[in-house]
Amino acid sequence: MKTTSYFETAVAKSHPESVTYRTYVEEALTEYESIHTEPNGNTRRYIYVAERELYLRVVVLPDGQTVHNAFFDSNYTRKQRRK
């Protein structure tokens, strides 16, 4: 899995669960439940982690392979119901 330096430094400190759940981060590259494209070309990919009962948001660069950010999005299901 390719990552940005931001992911390896800042994300590892602010969201240590991203490192713990790295297999889910890797899985989100291909086995995501939902995907949203940001205006800058990055994609937000969501994968459900049953043991945490939360969705993990993984931000991937436009190349589709490089992970830039990952964190548990506690508001994801509420956002989906509002649509």
Is residue 71 within 8 Å of residue 18, measured between CB atoms?
Answer: yes
Contact 33, 46 (CB under 8 A): yes
Predicted local distance difference test score (pLDDT) of residue 82: 53
Rounded distance between C-alpha atoms, residue 36 and residue 75, angstroms: 15
pTM of the model: 0.88
Q: pLDDT tens digits, residue range 18-39? A: 778 899 999 999 999 999 999 9
- Any idea where the domains of the chain sit in the sequence? 2-77
Q: pLDDT tens-digit profile of 34-68? A: 999 999 999 999 999 999 899 999 999 999 999 99
Q: Find all residues with CB under 8 Å of 49, minimum gap 6, and list them.
A: 21, 24, 55, 56, 72
Confidence tier at 78 by pLDDT (50, 70, 90): low
What integer pLDDT is reported at residue 16 of this predicted model?
84
Per-residue model confidence (pLDDT) at position 39: 97
